[in-house]
Amino acid sequence: MGTTYVIAADGAHSRIRQQLGARMLGRADVYDSINILFNADLRAWTAHRPAPLYFIENDRIRGSLLTINAHDRWAFLPTAMGAFGYSAENMTPERATDVIKQAIGVPDLDVNILGIVPWTASAQVAEQYRYGRIFLAGDAAHEMPPTGSFGMNVGVQDVHNLVWKLAAVLKGLASPSLLDTYYDERQPVARAITEQSLINAASMGRLELTKKNAGARPEYLNEQGMIFGATYTSRAIVPDGTKAPHVADPVTDYVPSARPGARAPHVFFQRAGAQISTIDIAGNGFVLLTAGDGRIWAEAACELANDHSPPLKTEMIDDEAFMSAYDLDPSGAVLVRPDGYVGWRSRAMTSDPARTLRETISTILGRIN
């Protein structure tokens, strides 16, 4: 029987993480909140300004109103409760009803409380992501305040990064050492995003027991650079010696780049009369993107089919916008990993493209130390 692995994605209170004795880096229990699920018809105040999230700030209560069905099902998350005389212990259905009425500003609002669940926000990341054959992922690997709604996205990205590596190892195509790059690539990203989530929470007054209204910082919900600009450095990335592009603010500003370790940039191009994106052809395997004169790269890729290498799709894109975005000469090529990140780039043709590709893939898969 082959080696088996476990992905521990069992939440912020992960029992597997606790049993492993995993050390968490950061701050635990940074603030308390409560999820109050309720029925009330709020269309008179929301129908003309629909949104998934409404921030409530007044001298009686502060929190976030979440849309469930945009009609009569909502959730309210009060924050800095102690400053307003509330706590998880005294939040009865009657008090919750009063909180909702104060938040909406309608004393005679018809409210039906469906559920009250207290919770505590933390800002911490596991020191290790791998314990032998067990890997932490999602909230089990990192707990972050919900200010930014990054938790689920970061968790999905964790697994996206990990599963193609597990598949390659289980199929005998990669060295088990490839699995170490999961931590190398994902843990720094989780730490950076957790830090920004905590800064967001602080800017909104969620860490202070004060009735003073607090406005979110300008970066809040404007984190394109942090979301799309995250880059990886590991043995599963083959550097090409180029410098990272200058970014004025790495939190808000996203500068597309095909430098190895970056997310493959989006570029529209024509294929058989249809407009598609470069990111639509990545995923579920390695993809070799070549410029207009890159036919030799495609031929070299075919030679790897019987070389104990993973399947390698090729796409020749004869488009100036593509070459510019990916910084390629007409004979250049880029190898995109199954998770959509650039693993290797050659701006121009090499003297032996088949050997170049073979060594590149072997390096990424850990078969060359």
DSSP-assigned letter for residue 138: G
Q: Do domains 28-121 and 223-369 have the same CATH topology?
A: no
Cα(40)–Cα(106) distance, integer angstroms:
11
Q: Look at residue 2 in the predicted model and tell me its pLDDT.
A: 66
Distances, alpha carbon 273 to alpha carbons 1, 188, 288, in Å? 49, 41, 21
DSSP-assigned letter for residue 191: H
DSSP-assigned letter for residue 341: B
Are 338 and 330 spatial neighbours (Cβ–Cβ below 8 Å)?
A: no
Collapse the DSSP code of 334 into the 3-class scheme (helix H, G, I; strand E, B; otherwise coil) and give the result: strand
Mean pLDDT, all residues of the chain: 94
Residue 179: CB atoms within 10 A of its CB come to 21
Sketch the domain layout of the chain as residue ranges: 6-27+123-222, 28-121, 223-369
Residue % of the chain over a pLDDT of 70? 98
User: Can you name the CATH fold of 28-121?
Assistant: D-Amino Acid Oxidase; Chain A, domain 2 (3.30.9)
pTM, two decimals, is 0.92
Q: What is the CATH number of domain 223-369?
A: 3.40.30.120
Token code pair at residue 149:
């709604």
Cα(252)–Cα(282) distance, integer angstroms:
25
**pLDDT tens digit string along 181-208?**
999 999 999 999 999 999 999 998 888 7
The Cβ-side half-sphere exposure at 294, using a 13 Å CA radius, reads 29
Token code pair at residue 240:
């090409």
Q: Look at residue 269 in the predicted model and tell me its pLDDT.
A: 94
- DSSP lists the bridge partners of residue 44 as none
Cα(163)–Cα(5) distance, integer angstroms:
11
CA dihedral 179, 183, 185, 188 (to 10 degrees): 180
What homologous superfamily is domain 6-27+123-222 in, according to CATH? FAD/NAD(P)-binding domain (3.50.50.60)
Are 12 and 143 spatial neighbours (Cβ–Cβ below 8 Å)?
A: yes
- Spans in the chain with pLDDT lower than 70: 1-2, 213-214, 306, 369
- Based on its alpha-carbon atoms, the radius of gyration of the chain, rounded to whole angstroms, reads 25
